[in-house]
């Protein structure tokens, strides 16, 4: 399926329920290469892409990580819907302490890379997209919850305007290249404070390396009920489209507010603090347990990969999608599919409404051709939802 025509996640799930019930290496300076004839482009042949380059060394009390930022797996195709940027090799140079120390309280920094994967690709959990394009509102869109399509590829990554490829959640291609998750704790990177980063699979007993592996549970949860009524806010219910829709509850899960815990790992048999990158919010930690190194400071480059903020009051960059619990509210138009299915307008699609889904969805088929086009199931343009797909 063409990525630019992909259905929103909930739409696709509903429609299915109704119908069913790293890259090539460049030449290495071979003198003979200049004597070879230049081949004409072959139609349909993939263009040669850069190769991953990463160098990790120890210097004094620090681990130095230098890379070109190109992944060791095939990245998604860019530009793409939601992300108009093209990935290009970078000159990343990161430094993390070999013996990180916990800070008195969790540390936050704006406009910094959160960490770097062992393949040299940085992690960045936050986005630059805010409600009404107003950073002062405090409502910042999430990249990985399915409501705002920022063009993440199959590896949970996308590209900044300067061409920097980066991860917003679990780097699936990297994990697959390391042999997959679940056989042992898998080291996938280093946070800016020097503590190691693993996938979401860790020992049931944090102090026992022989205990079974299981998926770590986040201690964040979706807030219940409506968002605060405020003139400079989105209104509606907490549904996960904004970072502020979630709250931390101590000991609710296995991980702390930085999305980490202390315990033994294959690389640290005596124990260490470590972070987990998982499939639920916060995906990648939003704070540091220790003090991040200045080398992760991006300066004036905005987070999220979308460039300069759009004009105040307009639709956010990317493409808004229908999602669980979505509904009309200030700053966004109605969701046709949700509205059609939610017969009693309680913002819950119950069993009775699902049983009538086929009949309800037929009402959206304006041209009577027996199928729903993007123009029919997406919100109308000019309603705060951004333009229809190209």
Q: What integer pLDDT is reported at residue 34 of this predicted model? A: 26
Least confident of 144-148, 211-215, 285-289: 144-148
Higher local confidence (pLDDT), 249 or 351: 249
Closest CA to 114 of 20, 206, 188: 188
Range of the domain at 216: 50-306
DSSP three-state, residue 98 = coil
Residue 40 or 185, more confident: 185
Q: pTM of the entire structure?
A: 0.71
Percent of residues, the chain, with pLDDT higher than 70: 74
Helix (H) or strand (E) holding 362: helix 357-362
Tens-place pLDDT, residues 69-118: 999 999 999 999 999 999 999 999 999 999 999 999 999 998 899 999 99
Q: Are residues 376 and 260 in the same domain?
A: no
Question: Is the separation of the CB atoms in 297 and 291 below 8 Å?
Answer: no
- Tokens representing 160? 């900044």
End-to-end CA distance of the chain: 14
The residues near 300 (Cβ < 8 Å, ≥ 6 apart) are 111
C-alpha–C-alpha distance, residues 80 and 306, integer Å: 12
Tell me, yes or no, whether 209 and 348 share the same domain.
no
Tell the residue number behind the tokens 């980490």, with chain if given. Answer: 260
Closest CA to 185 of 167, 205, 156, 161: 205
Q: Is the domain of 268 the same as that of 295?
A: yes
Predicted confidence (pLDDT) at residue 5 exceeds the cutoff of 60: no
Residues 243 and 329 in one domain: no
The mean pLDDT value for 19-42 works out to: 31
**Domain tally, the chain:** 2
Q: Which residue has better confidence, 231 or 85?
A: 85
pLDDT of residue 105: 97
- Indicate if 284 and 327 belong to the same structural domain: no
Domain boundary among 275, 306, 337: 306
In this prediction, residue 136 carries a pLDDT of 87
pLDDT, position 315: 63
Pick the most confident of 180-194, 304-318, 359-373. 180-194
pLDDT, mean of residues 167-177: 97
Verify that 187 and 232 share a domain, yes or no.
yes
pLDDT of 294-344, one tens digit each? 999 997 544 444 445 556 666 676 767 755 434 333 333 346 777 788 777
- List pLDDT tens digits, range 118-160: 999 999 999 989 998 888 888 999 999 989 899 999 999 999 9
Q: Last residue of some domain: 306, 337, 365?
A: 306
Residue 13 pLDDT > 60: no
**Domain identity same for 117 and 194:** yes
């Amino acid at each position: 399926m063409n990525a630019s025509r992909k259905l929103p996640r909930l739409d696709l799930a509903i429609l299915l329920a109704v119908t069913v019930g790293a890259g090539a290496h460049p030449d290495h300076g071979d003198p003979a290469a200049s004597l070879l004839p230049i081949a004409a482009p072959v139609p349909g042949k993939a263009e040669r892409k850069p190769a991953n380059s990463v160098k990790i060394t120890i210097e004094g009390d620090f681990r130095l990580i230098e890379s070109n930022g190109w992944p060791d797996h095939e990245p998604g195709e860019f530009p793409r819907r939601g992300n108009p940027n093209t990935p290009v090799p970078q000159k990343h140079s990161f430094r993390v302490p070999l013996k990180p120390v916990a800070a008195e309280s969790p540390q936050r920094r704006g406009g910094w890379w959160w960490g770097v994967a062992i393949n040299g690709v940085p992690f960045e959990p936050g986005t630059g997209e805010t409600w009404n394009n107003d950073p002062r509102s405090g409502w910042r869109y999430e990249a990985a919850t399915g409501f705002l399509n920022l063009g993440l590829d199959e590896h949970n990554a996308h590209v900044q305007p300067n061409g920097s490829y980066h991860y917003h959640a679990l780097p699936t291609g990297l994990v697959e290249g390391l042999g997959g998750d679940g056989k042992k704790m898998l080291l996938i990177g280093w946070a800016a404070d020097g503590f190691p980063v693993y996938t979401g699979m860790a020992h049931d007993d944090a102090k026992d390396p022989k205990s079974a592996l299981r998926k770590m549970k986040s201690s964040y949860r979706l807030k219940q009920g409506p968002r605060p009524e405020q003139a400079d806010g989105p209104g509606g219910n907490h549904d996960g489209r904004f970072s502020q829709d979630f709250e931390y509850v101590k000991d609710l899960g296995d991980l702390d507010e930085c999305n980490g815990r202390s315990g033994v790992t294959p690389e640290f048999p005596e124990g260490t603090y470590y972070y987990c990158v998982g499939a639920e919010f916060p995906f990648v930690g939003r704070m540091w347990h220790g003090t991040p190194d200045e080398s992760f400071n991006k300066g004036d480059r905005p987070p999220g990969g979308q460039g300069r903020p759009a004009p105040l009051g307009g639709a956010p960059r990317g493409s808004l999608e229908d999602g669980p619990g979505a509904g009309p509210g200030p700053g966004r138009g109605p969701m046709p599919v949700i509205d059609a299915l939610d017969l009693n307008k309680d913002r819950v699609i119950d069993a009775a409404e699902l049983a009538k889904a086929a009949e309800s969805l037929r009402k959206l088929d304006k041209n009577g051709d027996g199928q729903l086009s993007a123009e029919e199931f997406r919100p109308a343009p000019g309603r705060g939802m951004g333009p229809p797909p190209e």
